């Protein structure tokens, strides 16, 4: 594992919308004071992040970018107690929901960042991650807003830097245009190969997929599209 690569020089990207939509429920608000300090990542702007220092002995390290309400993050953490699950979400109500899942599951392998995932990515060393999960990111469907989408060429290249050999990235969306957009950028990024061999590979949820409340709302213009890539 090497951290010799210079950090990316991308500029500001507002790839998410509201930070808070409603008043936090009393229980969630209390968890911000009691639980969050124990599971929060160190400030990624303060210096490099060492996954082994965050969870000594972790067999794998996963990153979920934009975990929404935290259902998927918590479920995967429960299934893989030996893996460090890093979750990033700027939406404070989502962070509150995730804290509730962490508490109810008594999860010890989750670390949360209530902010921009790209700050965390820049602070992680080369080859730090086994998996990157991007599930139903904001589609920014209007043409003039596509520059705000999370998946850009720079983001894809940074994911390649962070993945271990044979590490995987999963992208899921329920917007056709964003699926095409993401596929184009991931496929033209050196070091990634798309694992699909037939149409069912992107139409059918992987065996370990966890359905979230957002997915159940069916707000997009297509059934979920699952794109899986591997670092080569």
The single residue of 116, 138, 177, 221 carrying the catalytic annotation is: 138
Run of H or E residues at 160 = helix 153-162
What secondary structure does DSSP assign to 68-95, as a single string?
A: TTSHHHHHHHHH-TTEEEEEE---HHHH
C-alpha gyration radius of the chain: 17
Q: Phi, psi at residue 91, to the nearest 5°?
A: -80, 110
- Give yes or no: 221 in active site: no
How many residues appear in the chain? 232
- 8 A C-beta contact, residue 134 and residue 107: no
CB 231 within 8 A of CB 192: yes
**Strands, DSSP E only, in the chain?**
60-65, 83-88, 110-113, 129-135, 163-173, 192-194, 225-231
Round to whole Å and give the CA distance between 47 and 67.
23
CA distance 84 to 143: 37
CB neighbourhood size of 28 (10 A):
19
**So which residues are the catalytic ones?**
138
């Amino acid at each position: 594992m090497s951290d010799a690569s210079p950090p990316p020089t991308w500029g500001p990207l507002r790839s998410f919308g509201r930070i808070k939509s409603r008043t936090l429920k009393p229980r969630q608000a209390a968890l911000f004071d009691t639980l969050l300090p124990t599971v929060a990542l160190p400030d990624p702007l303060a210096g490099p992040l060492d996954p082994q220092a965050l969870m000594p002995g972790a067999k794998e390290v996963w990153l979920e970018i934009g975990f929404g309400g935290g259902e998927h993050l918590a479920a995967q953490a429960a299934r893989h107690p030996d893996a460090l699950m890093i979750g990033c979400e700027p939406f404070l109500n989502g962070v509150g929901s995730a804290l509730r899942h962490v508490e109810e599951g008594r999860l010890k392998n989750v670390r949360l960042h209530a902010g921009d995932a790209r700050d965390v990515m820049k602070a992680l060393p080369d080859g730090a991650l086994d998996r990157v999960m991007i599930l139903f990111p904001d589609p920014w469907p209007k043409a003039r807003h596509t520059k705000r989408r999370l998946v850009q060429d720079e983001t894809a290249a940074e994911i390649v830097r962070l993945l271990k050999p044979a590490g995987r990235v999963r992208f899921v969306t329920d917007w056709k245009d964003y699926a095409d957009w993401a596929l184009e950028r991931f496929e033209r990024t050196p070091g990634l190969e798309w694992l699909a061999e037939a149409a069912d590979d992107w139409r059918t949820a992987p065996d370990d997929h966890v359905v979230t409340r957002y997915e159940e709302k069916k707000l997009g213009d297509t059934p979920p599209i699952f794109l899986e890539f591997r670092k080569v």
